[in-house]
Amino acid sequence: MKNQSLITLLIVWFFSFGVLNAQDISDDAEDHSYKPLKLSLNEEGTKYIRFIMWHQLWMTTDNLSADNQNLNVNTSIRRSRFLAYSQISSKFLILTHFGLNSLTPSNLTSLGNNGNSPQLFLHGAWGELKVTDNIYIGAGLHYWKGMTRLANQSTLNFMTLDQSRPFNAWHSLGITDQFARHLGIYLKGAAGKFEYRFALNNPIRSPLGGGIDYSRNFTEDGNPASDLTYTGVTTSDSNGGVVGNNIFEGYVKYNLWENEGTKLPYYVGTYLGKKKVLAIGGGFFLHPNGMYNNLTSEHSNVTHVAGDIFMELPTSGGALNAYVAVQKFNYGENYISRWGGTGTAFFSHFGYYLKNSNLMPYVAISNSNYAGANDDISALDIGVNYFIIGHHCKITAEYHQISKDYREGAMTLGGIDQFSQFRLQLHVFL
């Protein structure tokens, strides 16, 4: 009851304060419209360099579900990024994206240069060539991913506060890629109402957690339920050869209403009623010989498939936003990865944009049924966005809860089985 009262008071206080202060913006005569940060290299503007920068600044509580714990509010930088892309010809494009993630009081350093956590790193670097009006091919450290729309989600315009955790949509994050970006080549394009993106990638050699089987976190005796590790590429086959060096992934989408942009890989979370979209998609992620069985010394394949539906329906009062995704993961018998696991994961979110008040309340739910876990993992996010100037400046408050995911440090089998948290975010991008 104490936690519920705290959450209610924080939401009321935060949005009362935000609305009263934001009212000053709408009342004055200053022009608050946004124009992209674009440097034109010719008079027509067909040759250009586009710059994008953004910060997502968080305030979060500790685990509200833990007993006898003092309430602490922590500040962090969830993302601080800079992205630039350029075209001086319709025949090719270059993109560079760098920044940092999750800068917290725990990983700040005294002088900013005596540790890895505060440092900027490369998120994306690719070049792209135009083959025809409907076919483009590119290579580098890229984000043209398979499986689902949310795997290709833009962090600039989430409908929810962030990607839903556990990161089923970013199932390969840190496992086979560098923070959801792979080194490889991709093929993408659109024809009529169809869109497609396919990629051939190489996996990283140092997976998050060493590719261990997290099913040990879900067993009473602490022993893993699987003999597998995600170390196929770093373990030679019986002939001493390297296997597991290629990943194939893709996503195909059909737009029943308006088409969406395909210049960049980042799918929009909500258009705030400016676009009417109904899209049905399906995808896959295949990693031949990606797994290694420590008992039999054999390699095996990773085979994931998924389907999803996204809708944004403008209304007279704003817009209805809805999304549903089902992912079928297969790493091998009873294996649980850091973000996914052999079994089925369901995710859905619903939101409604209230145009007159610039508010968008939403709810997101997920459920993961893994063969290596006795109980389902569930998550719930309930929140509201306040759009001061669209996605360029917004404030989000969210109640976040995960149950029975013992991969999370705040949860222990036989002890705490729930993590709940109140989050506030200031999001600004130019």
| pLDDT per position as a tens digit, 80-110 | 999 999 999 999 999 999 999 999 998 888 8
Phi first, then psi: what are they for 246, rounded to 5°? -130, 140
pLDDT at residue 1 above 80?
A: no
Domain assignment present for 355: yes
What's the per-residue H, E or C state across 381-400?
EEEEEEEEECECEEEEEEEE
Note whether residue 39 is domain-resident: no
CATH (domain of 199): 2.40.160.10
Q: What share of residues in the chain are helix, strand, coil (percent, to 5)? A: 10, 50, 40
The pair of structure tokens assigned to 322 is: 């809805």
Instruction: Please tell me the predicted confidence (pLDDT) of residue 414.
Output: 85
pLDDT value of position 79? 96
28-32, 207-211, 271-275, 280-284: the lowest-pLDDT one: 28-32
In a domain, 72, yes or no: yes
* Lowest mean per-residue pLDDT among 103-117, 325-339, 376-390, 410-424: 103-117
pLDDT of residue 11: 56
Which residue type, as a one-letter code, is found at position 110?
S
Is the pLDDT score of 44 beyond 80?
yes
Domain-embedded: residue 122: yes
Cα separation, 112 vs 110, in Å, equals 6
Dihedral angle over CA of 55, 59, 65, 66, nearest 10: 110
Instruction: Give the pLDDT band of residue 22 (cuts 50, 70, 90).
Output: low
> Taking residues 6-26, what's their average pLDDT?
52
* Domain housing 232: 58-429
**Strand ranges inside 192-317, DSSP E:** 194-202, 228-229, 247-255, 277-293, 298-315
pLDDT per residue as tens digits for the range 113-151 = 777 777 889 999 999 999 999 999 999 999 999 999 999
Of 62-71, 274-283, 326-335, 421-430, the poorest mean pLDDT is in 62-71
45 belongs to a structural domain: no
Please report the pLDDT score of residue 2 as a whole number: 47
pLDDT tops 80 at residue 160 = yes
Q: What integer best gives the mean pLDDT of the chain?
A: 92
Domain count, the chain: 1
Q: Is residue 11 part of a domain?
A: no
How many angstroms separate the CA atoms of 40 and 46, rounded? 7
Percent residues over pLDDT 70 in the chain: 93
The rounded distance, in Å, linking the Cα atoms of 409 and 253 is 37
* Token pair for 161: 């506060």
30 confidence band (pLDDT: 50, 70, 90): confident
Q: Is residue 22 part of a domain?
A: no
Taking alpha carbons only, the member of 381, 378, 380 closest to residue 403 is 378
Is residue 19 a part of any domain in this protein? Answer: no
Q: What is the pLDDT of residues 307-356, one digit of tens each?
A: 999 999 999 999 999 999 999 999 999 999 999 999 999 999 999 999 99
Q: What is the mean pLDDT of residues 19-33?
A: 61
Write b or e for each residue in 307-335: b if 16 or more Cβ atoms lie within 10 A of its Cβ, otherwise e: ebbbbbebeeebbebbbebebebbbbbbb
**Whether pLDDT at 40 is above 90:** yes
Average of per-residue pLDDT across 413-429: 93
pLDDT number for residue 12: 47
